Structure 1
């Protein structure tokens, strides 16, 4: 990736304090996030992992303003998202956040180029020609701009989605299982591009993944269990991530056994 020198980004790009998210009521109530305190430094690649049901996707959606927490606060830079009305929250998502999803979320009737510049078109802004060319070249799509999503491979569609996330120069990119629908080769290419967006552009990336190999591209991995952060790794490798996940699974099994034994003693 050969792009302009990165801006100097310091401090915390995204932070949650006392973040709680509940679904349902009464006996049907489910606590997805249970008082989460976590911060994500600017200019770094962060991964969020955990067992199924640990709250990792819920956390990402609350951080990105796609879902509203039951309690607690989320800050994007200096902005407390809880203080924003629907219009200003929409503008924040459009202008300051980039998104990359597992299912690409491209509009099938639009060309690759039209999908890339869609956030700018919605804002009635013209793309910066030089920047657009740089982003397109960086993700290797210069010869695919006139193609519609149905004419592109899964890896190419995800590169369109990444270019769309980059074109607005966001403060943070949220990626939700970005390699989940890709083969290993295409997935590795997308991860390399996310890594280079951090290293070359000074971008901040927060990625939810279940894949230890994907997490190894990050600078830091935050592990969730039962809706709370429980471990962290810096400079992760796939092997260290696997070991940590295995430890979380063993702890969950032990906790489950203790609960079952207690219930049995109480005659439940």
Structure 2
């Protein structure tokens, strides 16, 4: 990865849960070069639920993957807390993701032979760490799984399986949770349940959540929405409602059709 400038370490008093500074991601070269992220600078504050939205191909998933250490940037800098992840080795990134980052994806990614309880603690079991029993019980209660811990995935509904995935992401008490279309495989009722649990994890457990979504209803659960278009942040909204988000998205689409 090429870096053409050195970024200062964020001041301790101003450290966000995740930060991007002039983050760029491109593919190919010359006439075939495609820019997925174009010098994006953004902060995601601790204890806040942020949604990332934009048209297909706007760079929203790429931004999340670069911030989470799942993909490398072409240029620029990204931090989790005060750790600059763009300078870490693969081994260091793996450790950081394991210890400080939680993930919830569209696919539930549960192991079918394990119970819900075993799926929740699996990352910690692999890492050889013991869960904080008090915190784990609080997470399980928050996501409403107390009566389902001995069930295997095929004995759970889609919404319940995604709740297991949310609990798994929360179980190690990570610094930040990234969600990539976490309700994409769920019906509207189950999706609303999972979003409410993510909302509750921020409000009641002090968690930080950054979620990529295309759904204005999902974005309305967030404290803030960041809008991307053509690899750049073009707007943001505090205290979103589904109607206001939908209106923003329609305007972006209209601009795209006329440009």
Provide TM-score, normalisation by structure 2. 0.92
CA distance in 2, matches of 1:162, 1:227: 28
Q: Which moved more, 1:24-33 or 1:159-168?
A: 24-33
Query: CA offsets per residue over residues 79-120 of structure 1, 9 Å max, x none?
Result: 000221111111110010010001111122221111100111
Contact 1:10 1:42 in 2 (8 A): no
Residue 38 (str. 1) matches residue 28 (str. 2):
no
Where do 5+ consecutive residues of structure 1 fail to align? 1-8, 256-268
- 1:11 positional shift: 4.3
CA distance in 1, matches of 2:235, 2:168: 32
Contact 1:109 1:148 in 2 (8 A): yes
Q: Detail structure 1 runs of 4+ shifted over 3 Å in the superposition.
A: none
Aligned position for 1:165: 169
CA distance in 2, matches of 1:64, 1:143: 32
Contact 2:58 2:230 in 1 (8 A): yes
SS in 1 for 2:119: helix
User: Which residue of 228, 231, 244 maps to 2:232?
Assistant: 228
User: Which residue of 36, 52, 55 maps to 1:48?
Assistant: 52
Aligned position for 2:202: 198
Q: Which moved more, 1:209-218 or 1:24-33?
A: 24-33
- 1:156 positional shift: 0.5
Query: CA offsets per residue over residues 161-187 of structure 1, 9 Å max, x none?
Result: 000011100110001101110011111
Query: CA offsets per residue over residues 217-236 of structure 1, 9 Å max, x none?
Result: 11110000000000111111
Q: For residues 228 and 178 of structure 1, do their structure 2 counterparts lie closer, same or farther at Cα, with a shift above 3 Å needed?
A: same
Aligned position for 2:62: 58
Contact 1:176 1:209 in 2 (8 A): yes
Residue 155 (str. 1) matches residue 159 (str. 2):
yes
Counterparts in 2 of 1:1-268, with a 5 A limit? 11-255=15-259
Q: For residues 10 and 80 of structure 1, do their structure 2 counterparts lie closer, same or farther at Cα, with a shift above 3 Å needed?
A: closer
- 1:72 positional shift: 0.7
CA RMSD of aligned residues (A): 1.3
Contact 1:56 1:208 in 2 (8 A): yes
Where do 5+ consecutive residues of structure 2 fail to align? 1-12
Asked which structure has the greater CA Rg, the reply is 1
SS in 1 for 2:70: coil
Contact 2:142 2:200 in 1 (8 A): no
